[in-house]
Chain A
């Protein structure tokens, strides 16, 4: 159905999310870090990106800044799926939406696999660049 780039540093979670999204019919490429994700995006041409903000090395915001600086990825939908608690992200959430076009922010401990799949399906970038 769609190409999903999943940026998840935790190997077990990455595998679980990948299996769930593949079961829902998507093609999924998992990257553990920001640099690997940029390289993967060149190969995959993702329709949607799911990213954890807390990454080793370059963090998720650095990834988003780099990702959005490429013309062909400026309208690709992005969902944040993070362990950072909502109250800690409260101030940043509006800026993430405004600056990086983030469509949704999910809190991992309270997001079921079905909710993740629903969010992905809802925000997949249409061919004309509209989510």
Chain B
């Protein structure tokens, strides 16, 4: 049988029989993998059954005939130790893993692996506000799912202007011009960065980021509730 090697992040684990564990892993090459880790409970090895949470590991496995393969070996490549040094970051880390696990099919594209890895990197940076990481993660999850808001033109098709104020229309997934609208050019620029290819760490350097996170949070969380499976 061929042994395969890839990089992986653990999403879930559960016990199987008396001594084994079943791990669900997210990989860039094979999507989600369900692998049997044999004898983990009997030997009382590492807490995570050979793979630490909030880490990236190099794994070797054998593909099974059915859905479940067998984990052969693991090597820790990167552990995000500052996440588990802070309870709020740990809780958020679990929430992100859970959300991504539920939101994705069995064979998610490579972008989801990169998203989770980058989210761990941002959460591991104690100078970055976890609320920003959460918001950025949701924006990226929407982007990967194909649910980007229109950040170029308003609901009537007119180019968004720096001199106007807007409300947000969830039906049209776009801004609507309104003289008393609470959204302005700085919010739109921030959303463009967040929904674009920029990392959470890059967003952290935007001037007034704390306030912007609060002010656009409603748009992002409502869109997430509407479009992302939870």
Contact = CB atoms under 8 A, between A and B. Distances in A.
A116 B13 CA distance: 32
A91 B47 contact: no
Contacts of B84: 58-59, 62
A91 B92 CA distance: 11
Q: Chain B interface residue count: which class?
A: 10 to 19
B15 A71 contact: yes
Nearest to B21: A69
A91 B88 contact: yes
B90 A59 contact: yes
A106 to B, nearest CB: 16
A99 B87 CA distance: 14
A62 B53 contact: yes
Interface of A: 34-35, 38-39, 42, 53-54, 58-63, 65-66, 69-71, 84, 89, 91-92, 95-96, 99
A66 B87 contact: no
Contact of A92 (B44, B46, B53, B91): B91
Interface of B: 12-15, 41, 44, 46-48, 53, 84-85, 87-88, 90-91, 94-95, 98
Given A66-B47, A91-B88, A92-B88, 13 more contacts: A53-B87, A58-B84, A61-B87, A61-B91, A62-B90, A66-B13, A69-B15, A70-B14, A71-B15, A84-B87, A92-B91, A95-B95, A99-B98
Contacts of B12: 69
Contact of B41 (A35, A42, A84): A42
A30 B48 CA distance: 21
A39 B12 CA distance: 20
A131 to B, nearest CB: 22
A71 B47 contact: no
Contacts of A69: 12-15
B84 to A, nearest CB: 6
A36 to B, nearest CB: 10
A58 B52 CA distance: 10
Q: Which among B41, B90, B95, B98 has the greatest number of chain A C-beta atoms within 10 A?
A: B90
6 contacts: A35-B46, A38-B47, A42-B41, A58-B47, A63-B47, A66-B47
Contacts of A70: 14-15
Contacts of A84: 87
Nearest to A82: B87
A95 B91 contact: yes
Nearest to B44: A39
A70 B59 CA distance: 23
B217 to A, nearest CB: 14
B214 to A, nearest CB: 15
Nearest to A92: B91
A107 to B, nearest CB: 14
B14 A61 contact: no
Contacts of B91: 61, 92, 95-96
Nearest to A59: B84
A84 B86 CA distance: 12
